[in-house]
Amino acid sequence: MARNKHPERTRARILDVAKRLFLTKGYDGTTMQDIVDSLGDLSKGAVYYHFKSKEAILDAIGEEDQSRHDPTAINDTGLTGLDKLREAFRRSAADNEHMRLMNMAYPAMHDPKLLAANLKVWRTQVADMFEAMIREGVADGSIDTAYPREAAELLALLTNYWLVPTFYPATADELHHRVEALAAVCTGLGVPILDKDLIETVSRGYTALI
């Protein structure tokens, strides 16, 4: 195999091509050979050199997608903590590609080990991230809550687990109603993130997962 002078560029190309195939043919409908064929100029061995399996490619696509949706990256000057949180939810739910990628990863979570690992991330890193944004809102006066940590933990758990029809099966109407219930939960905690507009956007986003 010729020495690869730009491994990062090759890696990025593989992820790009695989993501396009996953989104058009579905994850299950795409083989490693399809990915090799679509790349055109790389051997199967070269692709396997970068990713040991199709699952590893999906994982890497998921990580890239996650970092693109890191809400702490929302830095528009002038936004309050509450508005940043709302913007984070809006961007994530309105990004059709993001929701379809999430959808692709969710069936894997029927594997108890993966589910347990994700639950751990939701109750630690993701909760920490939400807490930082809520505390920003408390500091700038846009959020008035006695429960910054609790609200953060619940936001992380409920948006990643409870809203997801893979775990809690639901019709589109039931999902809409569930998002309205989450809005009431947030209001009860003094962190009224989900206004009327956002309820619609978030409902539509999760409905794509049915």
- Which residues in this chain contact a second copy in the complex, by CB under 8 A? 112-113, 115-117, 119, 123, 146-147, 149-151, 153-154, 157-158, 162, 167-168, 174, 177-178, 180-181, 184-190
Smallest distance from a second copy to CB 137, Å: 17
**Is 208:100 a contact under the CB 8 Å cutoff?**
yes
CA distances in angstroms from 196 to 86, 133, 159, 184, 186, listed in the order given: 11, 21, 17, 11, 13
CA 110 to CA 99: how far, in whole Å?
18
Smallest distance from a second copy to CB 146, Å: 8
Residue placing its CB nearer to a second copy in the complex, 79 or 157: 157
**DSSP 8-state code for residue 192:** -
Residue placing its CB nearer to a second copy in the complex, 14 or 186: 186
**DSSP 8-state code for residue 145:** -
CA 172 to CA 203: how far, in whole Å?
8
Smallest distance from a second copy to CB 48, Å: 28
- What is the Cα 209 distance to its own chain's centre? 12
**Is 143:134 a contact under the CB 8 Å cutoff?**
yes
Smallest distance from a second copy to CB 184, Å: 5
Residue placing its CB nearer to a second copy in the complex, 35 or 126: 126
Smallest distance from a second copy to CB 87, Å: 23
Residue placing its CB nearer to a second copy in the complex, 37 or 173: 173
Residue placing its CB nearer to a second copy in the complex, 68 or 177: 177
Residue placing its CB nearer to a second copy in the complex, 49 or 147: 147
CA distances in angstroms from 80 to 6, 72, 170, 183, listed in the order given: 41, 13, 34, 19
**Is 210:172 a contact under the CB 8 Å cutoff?**
yes
Smallest distance from a second copy to CB 188, Å: 2
